Amino acid sequence: MALSEIEQAKRKAGYAAVDEYIQDGMVVGIGSGSTVVYAVERLVERVKTENLKVVCIPTSFQSTQLIVEGGLTLGDLSRYPDIDVDIDGADEVDDNLTLIKGGGGCHVQEKIVASCAKKLVIVADYRKDSHLLGEKWKKGIPLEVIPFAYVPVMKKLEGMGGKPTLRMAKNKAGPVVSDNGNFIVDVDFGLLEKPSELNQQIKMIPGVVETGLFINMAVKAYFGQADGTLVSRP
């Protein structure tokens, strides 16, 4: 079956990152989301054809499944706390490679794995490439929040000028629950001209476990384009 334009763009980005960054003997972080599926697809190909020895560290239940189903070597941070490169997706990327992540609710584990990696490489399609965060991604910044605290956290976010929404599940009654057993609150602050400052302010609210703002973490982003070409930054 022929892939759609967007899926082809995702595959272009995922394949490029694996081809440029993955080498034999590496410990590799495997992010979450639809574009990472293609990165893993390419990694499985290279492991088979080049007999690469790599250990893969998952960021979510989804990426654990991708690693296991692909026949790759599954590791964890307790045994491999130092990661060579982490390949992950993003909901939006700005000119400074600041990211919004967490549309899939995995941003806490994604950020932990990214913080252990020497390099964080982002794979995405052209729809995720923005000048400022909030330009294309309109669902807000995902926050993982302790369930006990979600109401006061949302009140404090409103006091900061944000518009918070408790993320509700689609196929179950009630809120989305993260892999860590917490709630996800999406908070809209519009265009983010100073994401680093905002990130610090949000993280100071008791009950916020982590934000979906990734500041000064990514070293490169690949964007597959609608015409089949590839753009990368920096």
Per-position DSSP letters for 65-104, written without gaps between them: HHHHHTTPEE--TTT---EEEEEE--SEE-TT--EE--TT
Q: Are residues 148 and 195 in the same domain?
A: yes
**Whether residue 193 lies in the annotated active site:** no
Strand-pair partners of 168: 175
Please indicate, yes or no, whether residues 125 and 48 belong to a single structural domain of this protein: yes
Q: What is the mean pLDDT of the chain?
A: 97
In this structure, the answer to whether residues 116 and 149 fall within a common structural domain is no
Residue 232, judged by CB atoms within 10 A of its CB (0-12, 13-18, 19+), counts as middle
50 lies in some domain: yes
Residues 11 and 89 in one domain: yes
Strand partners of residue 12: none
- Structural domain harbouring 41: 5-131+215-233
Residues 156 and 90 in one domain: no
Within 8 A by CB and 6+ apart from 191, the residues are: 132, 133, 134, 135
Considering the domain architecture, whether residues 71 and 187 belong to the same structural domain is answered as no
Q: Pick left, alpha or beta for residue 202 (phi over 0 → left; psi -120 to 50 → alpha; otherwise beta).
A: alpha
Collapsing DSSP to helix, strand or coil, 144 comes out as: strand
Six-digit token string for 183: 């709630």
Q: What is the pLDDT of residues 58-75, one digit of tens each?
A: 999 999 999 999 999 999
CATH number reported for the structural domain that contains residue 148 in this entry: 3.30.70.260
| Residue 124 covered by a domain | yes
Cα separation, 189 vs 195, whole angstroms: 10
Q: Please indicate, yes or no, whether residues 111 and 226 belong to a single structural domain of this protein.
A: yes
Tokens of 47: 């492991």
Strand order in the sheet with 183-188: 163-166, 183-188, 141-145, 208-211
Same domain, 174 and 193: yes
Q: Are 107 and 200 part of one and the same domain?
A: no
Same domain, 17 and 87: yes
Q: What is the pLDDT of residues 77-115, one digit of tens each?
A: 999 999 999 999 999 999 999 999 999 999 999 999 999
The verdict on residue 136 lying in a domain is: no
99 φ/ψ angles, rounded to the nearest 5 degrees: -120, 150
The CATH number that applies at residue 93 is: 3.40.50.1360
How much of the chain exceeds pLDDT 70, in percent?
100
- What's the rounded Cα separation, in Å, for the pair 2 and 211? 37
pTM score, two decimals? 0.96
Give me the sign of the Cα torsion angle 45, 51, 54, 58. Answer: positive
Residue 78 in any domain: the answer is yes
Query: What's the token pair of residue 100?
Result: 């919004």
Per the domain annotation, does 49 fall within a domain? yes
Total domains in the chain come to 2
18 and 121 fall within a common domain? yes
Q: At 1, is the pLDDT very low, low, confident or very high (cuts 50, 70, 90)?
A: low
Is position 74 within any domain? Answer: yes
Rounded Cα–Cα distance for residues 41 and 157 (Å): 40
Q: Using the predicted structure, report yes or no on whether residue 137 has a pLDDT greater than 90.
A: yes
Which segments of the chain are extended strands (E)?
27-30, 55-58, 73-74, 83-88, 92-93, 99-100, 117-125, 141-145, 163-166, 183-188, 208-211, 213-214, 218-224, 230-233
- Residue 214 pLDDT: 98
Residues 108, 32 share a domain: yes
Q: Is 76 contained in some domain?
A: yes
Q: Reply yes or no on whether the pLDDT at 2 is more than 80.
A: no
Query: pLDDT of 25-39, one tens digit each?
Result: 999 999 999 999 999
- Given the residues 7, 41, 110, 135, the one annotated as active site: 110
